[in-house]
Structure 1
């Protein structure tokens, strides 16, 4: 399964998380794409898309995502898996990592299969559009308030993705 990581990062935190994920998943750095310098058509090269954005202002996407997202949300991604990750600050308790929720909602119509839902129990926020039916639609990272939890969350999420994708590959061969 060919994996591409696409991220938008203003301060470098989301970029750092993207590189850490690449290293944990043994993905060559040539498959890391800053959406500010990438074309939406590049997602076609991959089976699994790891998409990451930080959240800004009142729960907004990182600025570089807007044009890129407009370009990929019109694609037919039925043959793709998407796993989402994002960075935010839980002290913004009513918009924590809303960018992840925005990516999830806007990419629903592409037909991609989402994976990597994460348990919400270890976080302290009131509301996030990244929480759907009691689960987080992806990995949420808070390097501001809980940097000591990041490594564990990354490792756990990578194992979760590997397990889910192994099951999806086995299902596809039936």
Structure 2
């Protein structure tokens, strides 16, 4: 297994892709391998101890098409000994009752399967009604929540802060 970080994402509109590139650059391109799940199998995650997944929420809390197609492969990954961080993209004003739901679905699946989940993010500073991606107390998202539709101006700072956090949580600091 490699000491590098595997970053896997699905994207239809390029925003999750752009965020993946920013996260790679922030953590260091020499440390992060980036995979578009439309072109690479999720089972490549078995090669890594440290993983980042990027997942957008579509419409009314739905999975993006690449994630929907790749979802069964999550069961073919051995999650033991893996530290996993997730970032999600969503539209908090257009879909306030389903904000970041796909990130919550992915988190629940991996956590239940034995992954060590890191990268929780404060839920303050957002305007939504409900989300499947919140911790039980509602204080944190289960990963970095990005909204390129309504808060694009905050994304770079959020990514930088989150990368500092997960670098520490991954034991890379």
Provide the secondary structure at the position in 1 that maps to 2:117: strand
1:121 paired residue among 119, 124, 132: 124
Could you tell me which residue of structure 1 aligns to residue 156 of structure 2? 151
Measured in 2, the distance between the counterparts of 1:81 and 1:51 equals 11
* TM-score normalised by the chain length of structure 2: 0.91
Could you tell me which residue of structure 1 aligns to residue 77 of structure 2? 75
Query: Contact (CA 8 Å) 1:55, 1:88: kept in 2 or not?
Result: yes
Measured in 1, the distance between the counterparts of 2:71 and 2:81 equals 18
1:57 offset after TM fit, Å? 1.6
Could you tell me which residue of structure 2 aligns to residue 160 of structure 1? 165
Measured in 2, the distance between the counterparts of 1:90 and 1:7 equals 20
1:28 offset after TM fit, Å? 4.2
* TM-score normalised by the chain length of structure 1: 0.90
Provide the secondary structure at the position in 2 that maps to 1:132: coil
Measured in 1, the distance between the counterparts of 2:72 and 2:49 equals 20
Could you tell me which residue of structure 2 aligns to residue 54 of structure 1? 56
Measured in 2, the distance between the counterparts of 1:74 and 1:109 equals 14
For the aligned residue pairs, the C-alpha RMSD in angstroms reads 1.8
- Structure 1, unaligned stretches of length 5 or more? none
1:40 offset after TM fit, Å? 2.5
1:74 offset after TM fit, Å? 4.2
- Structure 2, unaligned stretches of length 5 or more? none
1:73 offset after TM fit, Å? 2.9
Runs of 4+ in 1 over 2 A off after TM superposition: 27-30, 73-76
Measured in 2, the distance between the counterparts of 1:46 and 1:86 equals 20
Aligned length: 168
